[in-house]
A and B are shown apart, each in its own frame.
Chain A
Amino acid sequence: DSGVTQTPKHLITATGQRVTLRCSPRSGDLSVYWYQQSLDQGLQFLIQYYNGEERAKGNILERFSAQQFPDLHSELNLSSLELGDSALYFCASSVESKSGTSGVVGELFFGEGSRLTVL
């Protein structure tokens, strides 16, 4: 058990719909990452939040958005879903310095993932 909790574990929905994936980081970790794992694209970084603020953006579509709340849990919102959005979505957390430039980057702990199937 990594200490990172994701819900739901599985989700089946239709094209055009919107879903919300939820993540609770490990106790004490201020940084939350979202990664997408699909057969054709592999593991891809989507977005990072640190203590409630967006810190970095990767290959995240405009139809996708995320936020981190004061209690540090995070949500990934996926809208206008397409067949190609079917994937395993991982949340991960780590210990990091505030600025991110001091070199203090801890191990990245992944949750068990949320498997999204769009029909």
Chain B
Amino acid sequence: GENVEQHPSTLSVQEGDSAVIKCTYSDSASNYFPWYKQELGKRPQLIIDIRSNVGEKKDQRIAVTLNKTAKHFSLHITETQPEDSAVYFCAASINNAGNMLTFGGGTRLMVKP
């Protein structure tokens, strides 16, 4: 089955700096890669996703890049703010498997004011 690895497990940055979280996946059939943000004690919420027919997608301060050949994808957050502090999860699925997602282990991002 699919295996998703995520690095780093913790990331501390200064407010205004950029943060990058990287994930690798094992199943070359995977073609849907969402990213979720989970604040303490809250539910995971989708922040951005990318499908395998594109290499990059941006939404304001958040961007995701995908390298299908290398089977890795990354989340980039620019101009970080304290409210970006949370646990971020990457995930992968085969599109016709719907939202049967395999999640990475999570990255705890701490943005210091």
Binding site for B on A (CB under 8 A): 2, 31, 33, 42-45, 48, 55-56, 58, 90, 92, 94, 96, 100-101, 103, 105, 107-108, 110-113
The verdict on A108 contacting B102 (CB below 8 Å), with A43-B44, A100-B97 known, is no
CB < 8 Å neighbour of B98 from A44, A48, A113: A48
Q: Which residues of B contact A31 (CB under 8 A)?
A: 98-99
Taking a contact as CB atoms under 8 Å apart, the answer to whether B42 and A112 are in contact is: yes
Can you name 9 extra interface pairs (CB under 8 A) apart from A45-B100, A103-B96, A107-B46? A33-B99, A43-B103, A48-B98, A48-B100, A56-B100, A100-B96, A110-B43, A110-B44, A111-B43
CB < 8 Å neighbour of A56 from B32, B49, B98, B102: B98
CB < 8 Å neighbour of A112 from B34, B43, B100: B43
Q: Which residues of B contact A100 (CB under 8 A)?
A: 96-98
Binding site for A on B (CB under 8 A): 32, 34, 42-46, 49, 89, 91, 95-106
Taking a contact as CB atoms under 8 Å apart, the answer to whether A90 and B99 are in contact is: no
Taking a contact as CB atoms under 8 Å apart, the answer to whether A96 and B96 are in contact is: no
Q: Which residues of B contact A44 (CB under 8 A)?
A: 103
Q: Which residues of B contact A111 (CB under 8 A)?
A: 43
Complex CA distance for A108 and B47, rounded to whole angstroms:
11
Complex CA distance for A99 and B111, rounded to whole angstroms:
43
Complex CA distance for A31 and B44, rounded to whole angstroms:
17
The residue on A at minimum CB distance from B44 is A110
Tally of A-B Cβ pairs under 8 angstroms: 58
The residue on A at minimum CB distance from B89 is A43
Complex CA distance for A26 and B7, rounded to whole angstroms:
33
The residue on A at minimum CB distance from B96 is A101
Q: Which residues of A contact B43 (CB under 8 A)?
A: 2, 90, 110-113
Secondary structure dominating the interface of A: strand
Q: Which residues of A contact B104 (CB under 8 A)?
A: 42
Q: Which residues of B contact A108 (CB under 8 A)?
A: 34, 46, 99, 101
CB < 8 Å neighbour of A105 from B32, B42, B91, B106: B32
Taking a contact as CB atoms under 8 Å apart, the answer to whether A110 and B32 are in contact is: no
A50 to chain B, nearest CB (A): 8
Complex CA distance for A112 and B97, rounded to whole angstroms:
24
